Structures are given as C-alpha cells and as structure tokens.
Amino acid sequence: MMTAKDIMHPNDLKTIQVLQKIPCIDSVCRKIMEYGYERIFRGENLGTMVKASERCLPRVYTLMKRTANRIGIGVPDVYVYNDPVMNAFTYGETNPFVCISSSCVEKLTDDELVCLMAHECGHILCKHTLYNSVVNLVQMFGERMGIITRSMSKPICLALQFWSRQSEYSADRCAAAVSGERVFQQMTMKLASGLVDVQGDPYQLVHQAQEYNDFENQSLWNKIQQNCRMAFYSHPQMVNRAKEIDRWKNSFAYKKQRLAININ
C-alpha cells in the first residue's frame, strides 16, 4: 500500500506539514468541504456528466477500480464530461470524485488512462483538496480579522500557486509509480500535443526541457520573462513535469514503488 509520504515532493510535504500544525484544522475543513463545495459539485456532476459504473462506461469504471486498488485508496466515483480538451480533475475529501474529459477517454490507451487516473488519485492520497481549502480558509479569516492585509494577499496568492505546482509533481510521482515512467511520458506527450498517435521518441518532452532550460538561462531577461509567466501558473510546464519524472525514475523511492506495484 502506497502512503502519501512515498510520493510527495519535498516542497509539497513541507507546506502541508506547516498547515497540519494548526489545531483541529483538518476536521474543521473536512466538515466545511463536505457540506459546501463537495455537495455542490456532486450535484453538478450527477446533473451534467455521465457517471461510470459496471453498466455504463465499464472500461472507465474498471480502470479506476484497478488504479485505486493499486494505490490502496477507496475507489472514488468517476465521471466523464464532454470536452475536446484533454483534462481531468478531482475534488472532495469525505467522498472524493474524479472527472475525466471525453477526449482523454477516447485518446488514451488503457495504460495511459490508468496513469492519468493515478495522477488524480495521487491528489486524493496526499489530501491536496483538503489542504487547499485549509489555505483558503486561513486566508479568508486572516483577511477578515485583519491579520492578512491587502498588500499581503498577492504574495500569498503567488506562494499558493507555487505550492499548487509542487503538488502536481507529487501527483505525477503517483502516476509514474503506478504505471511506470515510460507510460507517464507517453501520456504527457498526448496531453501536450492533443494527438491520438504520437509517433517517435516518447522522451521528446524530456529533451525539450533541456532546450527550454538552456533558452531560459541564455539571458537574465529570458529568465525574468519565463519566471514571471510561470509565477501565475497553477501547473508546472509540461516539459518540467516530464523532466522531473525523468529525474525521479532513478531514485530509490521510485524503484521501491514499482517493485511493490509489480508484486501485487
């Protein structure tokens, strides 16, 4: 069974450890989420998307079951929504769910779809949505009580975007641990290109990351431009996600997880 610490990126872990120091914050936020957005979104999903089950969308349902079992978490509800953009997201703490765009279901192979699902399940395992709502709550009450001033809001927002990007690296590690780093790279190539059949080298984004970093380091101006653009992103660039997993594949943690997955 995988634990959050097995796959968490060190910067993600550090932020969550700070948030965990606030007394009772987990249980308070869990309740707020359960009665707030979690129920709103559940109603919205049931009202507008197609819920996968053994009777309907059995491929999606079976693959989600397989993914959750490999990780060792409860099987989340899974919905498919109509969107030509390849994307997926998760929400919820008491009853988490995963929503996957129709384009992903159509364009990804079974292994790649498991990889995408494992990324979303990685967010569930690490309780990212819970801690995201903890941060929002702290920010909201901080501002109301005058602890956080307006001038502090922007830096806090940028810090949150930084954490959000680090949490994506943790979820990517979960995906690579479950499906293998090569499948992760194939899936990332499809997400970046939107193509069903990406021919050639599945490690293209890893090579491109080198080219991107060289470009970034060519001048101070390039570095400032790229860093300013990235500061507002909630997700890291695809090339950096590919590079990070290519680096992590050599770690003991990755090899240990792959061994455990292959034995089970």
Stretch that binds Zn ion, among 11-19, 107-115, 151-159, 167-175 (CB under 5 A): 167-175
**In which region does residue 195 sit, left (phi positive, over 0), alpha (psi from -120 to 50) or beta (all else)?**
beta
Stretch that binds Zn ion, among 25-33, 57-65, 148-156, 164-172 (CB under 5 A): 164-172
Nearest to 264 by CA among 12, 72, 94: 72
245: contact with Zn ion by CB under 5 A: no
Which of residues 104 and 171 has its CB atom nearest to Zn ion in the complex? Answer: 171
Nearer residue to Zn ion within complex by CB, 98 or 171: 171
d(CA 237, CA 78) in angstroms, rounded, equals 26
Among 62-70, 93-101, 133-141, 162-170, the segment contacting Zn ion (CB under 5 A)? 162-170
Q: Which stretch binds Zn ion (CB under 5 A): 55-63, 66-74, 104-112, 170-178?
A: 170-178
Least distance to Zn ion, CB of residue 88, Å: 8
171 binds Zn ion (CB under 5 A): yes
By CB under 5 A, tell whether 118 contacts Zn ion.
no
Q: Which is nearer to Zn ion, 119 or 249 (CB)?
A: 119
> If we measure between CA atoms, which residue out of 4, 15, 12 comes closest to residue 167?
12
Q: Which residues bind Zn ion (CB under 5 A)?
A: 168, 171
